[in-house]
Amino acid sequence: MKKLVLPALIALTLAACSSTGTDTAGASVEDRGAGVATVTAPGMSGSGIAALTDPNNILSKRSVFFDFDSYVIKPEGRPLIEAHARFLVQNPEMRMLVQGNTDERGSREYNLALGQKRADVVKQALMLLGAREAQIESVSLGEEKPRCDDRTETCYAENRRGDMLYSGEF
Amino acid sequence: MTKLLTAFRLFLAAALSSLALGAHAQLSIEITGAGATRFPVIIPIFENEGRLPQSVTDVVRANLERSGLFNLVDMGPLPMPESVMPDLAAVRARGADAVLTGSLIPMADGRYEVRFRLFDAQKQLELGAMALPMSPAQNRIVGHRIADFVFEKLTGLPGYFATRVAYVIKSGPNFELQVADADGMNAATALRSREPIISPAWSPDGQSLAYVSFEQKKPIVYVHTLATGQRRVIANFKGSNSAPTWSPDGNQLAVVLTKDGQSQLYVINADGSGVRRLAQSSGIDTEPFWGSDGHIYFTSDRGGSPQIYRIPAAGGSAQRVTFDGNYNVSPRLSFDGKLLAFITRNAGRFQVAVQDLATRQTTILTDSARDESPSFAPSGRMILYATDSGGRGVLSAVSTDGRIRQRLTVQAADVREPAWGPQIR
C-alpha cells in the first residue's frame, strides 16, 4: 500500500469525554424579538488531508452501506473497512469519527439510536482488525443527514450507511 | 369530522431577520376539522376598544375559534359594556349559550383597565368577572388571558392561549430553532445553524430549551436560555448525546448517551454535572419523557421491537406500557398524567395514538402516514405533532378525542420537531 505522509500535528481531542457546563464561545447573538435572542451556531472549519482524498486511493472512499433494519457490514464493504483499519494501525496518531446514518422512516430519536448501532459495528470491525479504541469515536446522525432526499428504495439504501471521517474532516 | 367547517389564516407580522428563511418563515394556522358540537358564544367588541391600535377581542375570538370548541356567533357591531346587564333573551335568540361583556376604562397613566364579565344565557347566571390592566400595545397578551378565562369557565379545562411552541424549520441547508406564540404569532429564531437541530424540550419555567444540535458533527445536548441566547453544553460525552427531557422541578434532565455502549438512559443535573445511569438494558433505550407522575416513559427494543416502557425516575424496574403492534415510539405523557400519546406504526403508516393509562385503551387519532414527535398542550386536550403534507413537513394538532384538527405551515420550508411549552402562571 502506498505510504502516506501524515501532517505532524493532528491533535484534535476527539475522545475528549465530558465537557460539561461550559458556555459555548463563538456563538453570536444577533437580534432580539419577542423576548428571544437569535444565536448562530458556529460552524466547523474542516481541512481535509490530501492523501485521504486521492480518488485513486481506496481510502478516499468512506461509506459502508447496510440493508434495511440491518446492522451487519455487507461483504462488499469489507475491503474498505480493512483498508481503513490498516491506515489506523499504521498511523496511531490518527483519529476517526464514525457517523452512523439511517433512512428517514420512523422516529428521529429512535433512528439516532439505530444509526449508533451501525457506527458501533463499523468501529468494532476496525478494532478487530487492529485499530485502537482510543482512535475511534462512533456517533450517530440518525436520519438527519440524508445523502439522497427522494422517497425511493434506492435513496433509502444510500442513506443507510456508516461514514468514516478523519481528524480535520469533522 | 374532517369536514372543513371553518378556515382562517393568521399571518405573523413580526419581521424576521433578513438571513436565510426571513421572507418565508410565516407560520399560518388553519382549522381542518372541528368538534361536532361546538359551544355557541357571543363576544362583542368591548366598550372603548376602538381607542386601541389593535383589537383585543379579535384576539379572544381567534383563540376560541382555533380551539375548535367554540362557535362564535355574531351579535352586530355594538359593544355590550361590562357595567350593563346584557339582554340574555336576545343572546339566546341569536342561538348563543354565553356572552362576554367588556369595557376599557382609561387610567390616569395612559393605560386601561379591561373589565369583563361572562354570562350563561341559558341559566341566566353570571359565570365570573375579571379586571386586567393593560397598556395600549398589550392587546395580544391580554386577549390570550381573556380567552383563557372564557375557556376555563366554559370547558372546565385550563386555558393554554398564552403559551408558546418551539419547532425547527429546515429551508435548504439551513436549520432554525424557532419559538412562536401558540397562535403562530411572534415567531422568533432562537438558533440558526447549518447542521440539524432536533428534540427541543421546554424547561418547566418556560425560560429555556434543551435540544440536540449537530453543529460539531455529532449530537450534543445544549440548554439555551431564550431571553439572553446563552447556550450551555450539558452533555457532550464520547459517542452520541440526545433526547433531553426535563424533570418536573427543572433541576435535572434525562438524556440518552452512548458513552458506555448502546443508547441508554442517564440523568444529569441541569448544569451538566452529576451524570448517572438510570437504567441498564441489552438493547436500545431512548426517547425518555419525564412525566408528572414520577415515571420516565421511554422507547426500548429490549423485547425485540420498539415499545414504550416506564421506569420510576428514582430508578427501579421497567414496566412495559404498549403491547399492540410492533413499532410504538416517542411517548409523551399528558400534564394530568392520564393519557400517553405516542407514534404507532399501523400497516406501514406512522400515526399519532393515545393510550388511556387507566383502562389501557389505545386509540389512533390520525389517518396520516408520517406523523412524528407528539407534544401535549398544557391543557392536555390538544396534541401537536409533525407530519407531512405534499412532501413537506408541517405541524398539525389533534384533540385527544380526534375530533379537532389544525394545521400549521410555513411557506417554502419544512417544519418539524414541535414542542408545546408549559403554562406560565
Question: What is the band of B403 on the pLDDT scale with cuts at 50, 70, 90?
Answer: confident
Three-class DSSP category at B397: strand
Q: Which class does domain B37-155 fall in?
A: alpha beta
Q: What burial class does residue B367 get, using C-beta atoms within 10 Å of its C-beta: 0-12 exposed, 13-18 middle, 19+ buried?
A: exposed
- Interface-testing mutation among B163, B171, B202, B238, with chain A (most A C-beta atoms within 10 A): B238
Cβ–Cβ < 8 Å for A13, A167: no
Asked if residue A6 is part of any domain, the answer here is no
Helix (H) / strand (E) containing A126: helix A108-128
Q: Which of B264, B285, B288 is nearest to B276 (CA)?
A: B264
Q: What burial class does residue B241 get, using C-beta atoms within 10 Å of its C-beta: 0-12 exposed, 13-18 middle, 19+ buried?
A: buried
Question: What is the band of B404 on the pLDDT scale with cuts at 50, 70, 90?
Answer: confident
- The pLDDT value given to residue A28: 54
Q: How many CB pairs under 8 A join A and B?
A: 190
Cα separation, B411 vs B200, in Å, equals 22
In this predicted model, which residue has the larger pLDDT, A9 or B202? B202
Q: At what angle do helices A108-128 and A78-90 cross, to 10 degrees?
A: 60
Residues of chain B found within 8 Å of residue A43, distances taken between Cβ atoms: 194-195, 215
Cβ–Cβ < 8 Å for B400, B365: yes
pLDDT score of B135 more than 60: yes
CA distances from B295 to B180, B247, B251, B284, B422 (A): 29, 10, 16, 18, 19
Asked if residue A71 is part of any domain, the answer here is yes
pTM score over 0.90 = no
**Interface residue B243 vs chain A (CB under 8 A):** yes
Residue A37 to residue B229, Cβ atoms within 8 A:
yes
Asked if residue A74 is part of any domain, the answer here is yes
Cell of B312: 420510576
pLDDT score of B13 more than 80: no
Q: What is the 3-state secondary structure of B224-288?
A: EECCCCCEEEEECCCCCEEEEEECCCCCEEEEEECCCCCCEEEEEECCCCCCEECCCCCCCEEEE
Residues of chain A found within 8 Å of residue B234, distances taken between Cβ atoms: 20-21
- The pLDDT value given to residue B423: 86
- The pLDDT value given to residue B338: 95
Residue A107 to residue B330, Cβ atoms within 8 A:
yes
**Interface residue B218 vs chain A (CB under 8 A):** yes
pLDDT, average across residues A30-41:
69
* CATH number of A68's domain: 3.30.1330.60
- Interface-testing mutation among B19, B165, B286, with chain A (most A C-beta atoms within 10 A): B286
Cβ–Cβ < 8 Å for B200, B416: no
Ranges A7-11, B133-137, B338-342: which has the least confidence: A7-11
Cβ–Cβ < 8 Å for B108, B95: no
Name the average pLDDT for chain B. 90
Ranges A72-86, A130-144, B179-193, B248-262: which has the least confidence: B179-193
Nearest residue of chain A to residue B214 (CA atoms): A141
- The pLDDT value given to residue B5: 26
- The pLDDT value given to residue A34: 60
DSSP B48: T
DSSP B47: B
- The pLDDT value given to residue B79: 95
**Interface residue B213 vs chain A (CB under 8 A):** yes
- The pLDDT value given to residue A45: 46
- Interface-testing mutation among B186, B194, B218, with chain A (most A C-beta atoms within 10 A): B218
Helix (H) / strand (E) containing B405: strand B405-410
Nearest CA to CA, how far is B210 from chain A (Å)? 13
Give the strands of the sheet with A63-65, arranged side by side: A63-65, A161-166, A96-101, A136-142
Per-domain boundaries in chain B = 37-155, 164-420
- The pLDDT value given to residue B25: 54
* pLDDT digits 0-9 by tens, B28-84: 767 677 666 789 999 999 999 999 999 999 999 999 988 888 999 999 999 999 999
**Interface residue B55 vs chain A (CB under 8 A):** no
Residue B189 to residue A42, Cβ atoms within 8 A:
no
In this predicted model, which residue has the larger pLDDT, B19 or B274? B274
Question: What is the band of B27 on the pLDDT scale with cuts at 50, 70, 90?
Answer: low
pLDDT score of B396 more than 90: yes
Q: For B164-420, which CATH superfamily applies? A: TolB, C-terminal domain (2.120.10.30)
| Chain B residues 296-335 with CB within 8 Å of chain A | 299, 306, 327, 329-330
pLDDT score of A113 more than 50: yes
Residues of chain A found within 8 Å of residue B299, distances taken between Cβ atoms: 107, 109-110
- The pLDDT value given to residue A143: 97
* pLDDT digits 0-9 by tens, B37-50: 789 999 999 999 99
Q: pLDDT > 70: what percent of chain B?
A: 92
DSSP bridge pairs for B333: B340
Residues of chain A found within 8 Å of residue B179, distances taken between Cβ atoms: 34, 36
Cβ–Cβ < 8 Å for B176, B224: no
Cβ–Cβ < 8 Å for B249, B267: no
Cα separation, A85 vs A17, in Å, equals 23
Residue B233 to residue A30, Cβ atoms within 8 A:
no
- The pLDDT value given to residue B159: 87
- The pLDDT value given to residue A38: 85
- Interface-testing mutation among A36, A122, A143, with chain B (most B C-beta atoms within 10 A): A36
Q: pLDDT > 90: what percent of chain B?
A: 80
Asked if residue A155 is part of any domain, the answer here is yes
Question: What is the band of B3 on the pLDDT scale with cuts at 50, 70, 90?
Answer: very low
Nearest residue of chain A to residue B20 (CA atoms): A40
Asked if residue A75 is part of any domain, the answer here is yes
Three-class DSSP category at B26: coil
Asked if residue A31 is part of any domain, the answer here is no
* pLDDT digits 0-9 by tens, B350-390: 999 999 999 999 999 999 999 999 999 987 688 999 999 88
pLDDT score of B419 more than 50: yes
- The pLDDT value given to residue B348: 95
Nearest CA to CA, how far is A71 from chain B (Å)? 13
Nearest residue of chain B to residue A28 (CA atoms): B229
- The pLDDT value given to residue A93: 92
pLDDT, average across residues B135-150:
95
- Work out the widest C-alpha separation in chain B, in whole angstroms: 71
How many CB atoms within 10 Å of residue B47? Answer: 20
Cα separation, B395 vs B372, in Å, equals 10
> Residue type for B395, please?
L
**Interacting residues of B104 by C-beta distance below 8 A, sequence separation 6+:** B46, B47, B48, B49, B51, B52, B112, B113, B114
Nearest CA to CA, how far is A43 from chain B (Å)? 6
Question: What is the band of B334 on the pLDDT scale with cuts at 50, 70, 90?
Answer: very high
| Chain B residues 7-36 with CB within 8 Å of chain A | 14-17
ipTM associated with this complex: 0.88
pLDDT score of B215 more than 90: yes
Residues of chain B found within 8 Å of residue A39, distances taken between Cβ atoms: 190-192, 224, 229, 231
- The pLDDT value given to residue A40: 82
Cα separation, B368 vs B337, in Å, equals 26
Nearest CA to CA, how far is A145 from chain B (Å)? 8
**Length reported for chain B:** 425
Residues of chain B found within 8 Å of residue A140, distances taken between Cβ atoms: 219, 240, 258
- What ranges make up the beta strands (E) of B98-236? 98-106, 112-120, 125-134, 164-171, 174-181, 188-193, 197-202, 208-213, 220-225, 231-235
Asked if residue A52 is part of any domain, the answer here is yes
- The pLDDT value given to residue B1: 31
Domain that holds residue A149: 45-166
pLDDT, average across residues B257-266:
97
DSSP bridge pairs for B311: B296
- The pLDDT value given to residue B390: 86
Name the average pLDDT for chain A. 82
- Interface-testing mutation among A19, A28, A39, with chain B (most B C-beta atoms within 10 A): A39
pLDDT score of B15 more than 50: no
pLDDT score of B243 more than 90: yes
Residues of chain A found within 8 Å of residue B228, distances taken between Cβ atoms: 29, 37
pLDDT score of A83 more than 90: yes
pLDDT, average across residues B321-340:
96
pLDDT score of B175 more than 80: yes
- The pLDDT value given to residue A60: 93
Asked if residue A19 is part of any domain, the answer here is no
Question: What is the band of A43 on the pLDDT scale with cuts at 50, 70, 90?
Answer: low
pLDDT, average across residues B279-297:
96
